[in-house]
Amino acid sequence: MNINAGNLKKGDFIKYQNEIWQVQKAEFYSPGKGSALMKTRIKNLLSGKNIEFTFKSNETVETVDIDSIEMQFLYKDAQNLHFMNERTYQQYTLPLKVASEAANFLQEGKKYFVYLHNDNPLSLRPPASVRLKVIETEQAVKGDTVTGARKPAKLETGVIIQVPLFIKNGDTVAVNPETGEYVERVKI
């Protein structure tokens, strides 16, 4: 389906240079002289590459229908993430490079949304945050009260992130899987 670039919004899927891209940011801009523009940041769903691109607002852009299906994460190997659609029991493979940073925070058995186009997996829609248990970190020393001080902590998925000094072994923390940043300590 074709739409005017002036109608693009965050989250839309478009075909650009014969590949599927997702609009990450869309800002309408009118320079005062000449035609209005739509400044966008788009992400290639296959390569994960982000680019800034400006469309003329009256330019025609082809949108793509993408399905977002909740699937169970089965396991991760050296090159791929493996998911299963629990309704059909069909399994899908998604390359690690497409999931980027979020692949480090996925837990086996949990459910995540996978983008499909013509029954082919394109990308992973990472959750806003994931809850993971801290399995290894240094003990805080009494007197360490520097505001904003951080220390490394290994999480149950094996990834190491920076956490505040008060976090200890066994704590559960919320992490933003897109950035890999600590969000908060979770009380269970």
Q: Is the pLDDT of residue 75 over 80?
A: yes
The listed CATH number (1.20.58.760, 3.30.460.30, 3.90.190.10, 2.40.50.140) that belongs to domain 130-186: 2.40.50.140
Confidence band (pLDDT; 50, 70, 90) for 48?
confident
Say which CATH class 67-125 falls into. Answer: mainly beta
pLDDT (average), residues 62-88: 93
How much is the pLDDT for 133?
94
Confidence band (pLDDT; 50, 70, 90) for 142?
low
Say which CATH class 2-63 falls into. Answer: mainly beta
Average pLDDT for the chain? 88
Q: Is the pLDDT of residue 70 over 80?
A: yes
pLDDT (average), residues 18-26: 89
pTM > 0.95: yes or no: no
What are the DSSP E strand ranges found in the chain? 2-4, 13-16, 19-29, 37-44, 50-56, 60-63, 67-76, 80-84, 91-95, 111-117, 120-125, 130-137, 150-155, 160-164, 172-176, 181-186
How much is the pLDDT for 11?
83
Domain limits of the chain? Answer: 2-63, 67-125, 130-186
How much is the pLDDT for 172?
94
How much is the pLDDT for 93?
94
